[in-house]
Amino acid sequence: MKENSQKILNGINGAPGICIGKAHLIDSHGVDVIQKYYLTDELVISELKRFKTAVSNAKRELEEVICNSPESIGDHINILETHLLLFNDKMLYEKTLSHIKQNRINAEWALKNVVEETKDLFRSIEDEYLKSRGSDIVHVADKIMIKLTGAVEVNISDISKRVILVARDLSPAQTSQIQLDKIMGFLTDKGGTASHTSIIAKTLGIPCVIGLENATSRIKDDDIIIIDGSSGIVIINPEDSVLIKYEEAKRVFEEKQAEIVRSSYLPATTKDGVDLVINGNIEFTEEVDLVKNHGGTGIGLYRTEFLYMSKNHYPDENEQFENYKEVGERIYPGEVIIRTLDINGDKALSYNKDDIEELNPALGLRAIRFCLKRKKIFKTQIRAILKASAFGNIKILFPMISSLGELNEAKKIVKICMTELSDEGINFNPDIKIGIMVEIPSTAVMADIFAKEVDFFSLGTNDLIQYSLAIDRGNEEVAHLYNELNPAILRLIQNTASAAKENNIPVAVCGEMAGNPMFIPVLLGLGILNFSMNPHSIPIVKQFIREINFKDIEKLTSEILLQNNCEASKKLIIYKLGELLNL
C-alpha cells in the first residue's frame, strides 16, 4: 500500500459536521516517563512544599485561561471553573500529599499512583456522565505534573494557520483555547460522548471525532484529512472522488443546519395538527438562553447536581435559591422542572465527609436514597426550590424513586419545609407540582400506582434501559446489548405512558432517546407528547416533528410492538421514515 493512499478510521461522533483540511498534530501526551525515588525524613517536608507550589502554579495558569477564554464558550466556562476546584480535591490533592508522607516518595511518583487509583475508581462507575468525569481529574493532574517536571504544555491559541487538530487527547482547557478562524475541527485517540471536550466542541459548533485509539500514529502533519463528526468517520488522504463527495456533503450539511436553526422558533406540530412540548435539559443557569435560542419552551430537566459539583462545599439555601430563582425568571412563563440532588455521594462530591466506599455505586446510596439519609442537605434544597417557586413556573422532580415508601417520605419532607416557610412568613407556591423520574423497572411496572400519587412523570430512559437490561454501558464487552428499541423497554415505556393517561397526568421523556429523531416516532406512538433534550438537538427534533403525520406514526408503532427483536424494529423505522431521517 502506498504511504499516501486513502485510509478510513472509525471513532465516536463527538460533535456533528464535516470539515476538510490539513492535519496539525499536537503533543498532548503529558509526561509519560516518571522516575521514582525515595526521600529521607528531612526531604519529605520540602517535597510536600514542592507539590503544593506546582498545584498553585498550575491553578494560576488555568485561571488565566479562563480570563482569556472566548465568548463563544461562555455557556460552558463552568467546566473550567470546576477544574479549578479539582486542584484541591481530596481525591487528588490530599491523597497525593498522603502518599508523599506515608511512603516517603517523590511528588511525581505519588501523583502518578493517585491518578492510576482514580482511573480504576471511575471505571467502576456505571453512570456514563460521572464515569467521564474521571478524565477531568486526569487533565488536572497532567497540569500539575507538567509543573513538577518542568515540561512545556502546548498552547493551542498560538496556532496561526487554518488546520484540523490531531491529538491523543485534549483537555477542556485546551479545547477552550480554540480559535474558530484557525481550527476547523479536531480528532483525538481518547474520549467519549459524555466528555467535556465533546460538549465544548458542540458549543463551538465545530466537528470532532473522538475515541479513535491510534489516529496520532497513523496521521502525519499536513496530511489532508476529512472529519465527518456526524458519523464518527475520519478519512486520511482521500481520493479525488471522495474529496468531491464530501465537499458537496459539507455544503449541504451547513445549508441544512442554518435552515434548521432559522426555523427553530416554529412550533413542534405534526402535519395533522398534534402539538408537542419540546423542552431543554440544562446543568448550569447560563444554558437557559441556549434552550430559548434553539426553540425550547421550558426546562424539562435541571440537573442540580452540577451546582454541587462546581463548589467545594454544599451550597447553602440562599445560594441555591438565587440559582433556581434566576432560572425560573429567565425561562418564564415556561416551566422549570428541578430534579433534586441526583448524585452518588462517595464518588462525585469530594467535600462529603461521610462518604463510604461502595462496590457498586450505581446501585448504592445515590439520588433520593442519598437525600433521605442526609435529610439536612435535602431540606436545604427543598426550601430553596420552594422559595424560588414564587418567582417562576417551578416544579419538583424526585430521582431514582423505587417504592411508594421513598416517595411518601420525600413528600413528607416537602410538607415540613412548607410549614416552616409559612411560619417564617416566606412566600412560595403551595400548589407546586411534584413528579418522579421513572428510571427503575419497579417504578415503570408500578406506574399505575405511582400515577395516583404524583403530578407528572419524567421517563429517564438512560438508566431505565441500563437497569432493565442489566447492562453497563461503559463495559465494551456488553455495550452492544444496550438498545433503546428492545421490546421489553418499549413495553415499560408504554405501561408508564398508559398509566399517566389514565390518571390524567403529563409524562415526558428526558433521556437520550428524546433528542434522537430515530426514536421520536415510536415514543410518539406510545403516547409521549412531551420531550426534553440537549438544547442543540431541539431544532432538528422540531423540524422532524413538523414533517410527520401522527396517525401514520400510530400505525407504525403498532407494527413495531408486534416485533420481537430490536433489529426488526429499527429496519421498520428506516423503511417507513428513512428519507426523513437521512438514512
492 DSSP β-pair partners: none
105 DSSP β-pair partners: 38
User: Rg of the chain over CA atoms, in angstroms?
Assistant: 25
How many alpha carbons fall within 13 Å on the CB side of residue 174? 26
Q: What angle do CA 427, 429, 432 make, to 5 degrees?
A: 155
Contacts of residue 537, Cβ cutoff 8 Å, sequence gap at least 6: 514, 515, 516
Choose the catalytic residue: 99, 139, 510, 536. 510
In the annotation, is 196 catalytic? yes
Residue located via cell numbers 470546576: 82
How many whole angstroms separate alpha carbon 54 and alpha carbon 188? Answer: 27
Strands across the sheet containing 233-236: 7-10, 233-236, 224-228, 18-25, 163-167, 183-188, 208-210, 12-15
State how beta strands 393-398 and 163-167 pair: unpaired
The answer to whether 526 touches 550, Cβ cutoff 8 Å, is no
- List the one residue out of 530, 524, 525, 489 whose CA is nearest residue 506: 530
- As a dihedral over the C-alpha atoms of residue 32, residue 38, residue 39, residue 40, rounded to 10 degrees, the angle is -170
Q: What is the DSSP string of 481-493?
A: G--TT-HHHHHHH
Bond before 333 cis per omega within 30 degrees: yes
Query: Max CA-CA distance within the chain?
Result: 80
Helix residue ranges per DSSP H, 205-355: 215-218, 240-262, 287-293, 305-309, 317-331, 345-348
How many whole angstroms separate alpha carbon 296 and alpha carbon 224? Answer: 39
For residue 403, the Cα-to-chain-centroid distance in whole angstroms is 27
Choose the catalytic residue: 24, 76, 139, 196. 196
- List the one residue out of 348, 245, 327 whose CA is nearest residue 279: 327
φ, ψ of residue 398 in degrees (nearest 5): -95, 125
How many whole angstroms separate alpha carbon 457 and alpha carbon 436? Answer: 5
**Long-range contacts of the stretch 209-214 (C-beta < 8 A, 24+):** 209/9, 209/11, 209/12, 209/13, 209/14, 209/233, 209/234, 210/11, 210/12, 210/14, 211/11, 211/12, 211/14, 212/9, 212/10, 212/11, 212/187, 212/188, 213/11, 213/189, 214/189
Residue located via cell numbers 491529538: 167
How many whole angstroms separate alpha carbon 273 and alpha carbon 152? Answer: 60
How many whole angstroms separate alpha carbon 208 and alpha carbon 26? Answer: 15
The answer to whether 156 touches 177, Cβ cutoff 8 Å, is yes
* Separation in Å, CA 258 to CA 13, 81, 395, 511, 538: 20, 31, 34, 26, 14
Q: Which residues participate in catalysis according to the annotation?
A: 196, 510
